[in-house]
Amino acid sequence: MDETVLIKPLQEGDDEAFKQLVDLYQDKVYNTVLGFLHSREDAEDIAQEVFIEVFNAIRKFRGEAKLSTWIYRIAVNKSLEYIRKKNRQKRFAFFANLFEVSDSNKLQITDFEHPGIQLEHKENARVLFAAIAKLPENQKIAFTLHKVEGLSYQEVCEVMKLSLSSVESLMFRAKKNLQKKLFDFYKSG
């Protein structure tokens, strides 16, 4: 379905158009959010928040970008807001318990599973996603959108509101950082 056909009915409050939009983008939004949060429950909650934001803000959509780009941008922003909130809570917990020390540069492997990863690659995926989570924010966004979600560099540019050369630079640095993090992880056993 052509997404431009949905815009006018969405802006007029058509419930059926919103249902079509959710059907069209729910898997993409969920997978994008999951790529950042690494928790199925959190990803489900944030994906819902994304669609609530889309529903509440669609009247303000001006069509300067594609509808899908706009939705991806909301998904990325909601994911990053959630991560920041969680990090603030972690900092508070740290100050509440000063005697517990952790090395934040070590890769913390979780039970995260992305739906697009085949069973035989799950362990490697856990290590990779843990390394991606340690990247600087813009590198993490660019890398996740391009390599995990399969967006083209041009689409990543639109979502991040950056030039092509900036996205290429972010991708280059993300790959170098990941190589170093993964090499250090596998070298240390």
Fold of 1-99: Rna Polymerase Sigma Factor; Chain: A (1.10.1740)
Long-range contacts of 110-116 (CB under 8 A, 24+ apart): 110/38, 112/38, 112/39, 113/40, 114/31, 114/34, 114/35, 114/148, 115/31, 115/34, 116/31, 116/148
Give percent of the chain with pLDDT exceeding 70: 80
Which CATH number, 3.40.718.10, 3.30.300.30, 3.30.1490.20, 1.10.10.10, labels domain 109-189? 1.10.10.10
What rounded mean pLDDT belongs to the chain? 84
Q: What is the pLDDT of residue 114?
A: 56
Q: What is the pLDDT of residue 2?
A: 79
Instruction: List the chain domain ranges.
Output: 1-99, 109-189
Confidence of residue 22 (pLDDT cuts 50, 70, 90): very high
Of the candidates 108, 169, 113, the residue with the CA atom closest to the CA atom of residue 142: 169
In DSSP notation, 173-188 reads HHHHHHHHHHHHHHHT
Q: Is 103 left (phi over 0), alpha (psi -120 to 50) or beta?
A: beta
pTM: 0.70
Q: Residue 37 CB: number of other CB atoms within 10 A?
A: 23
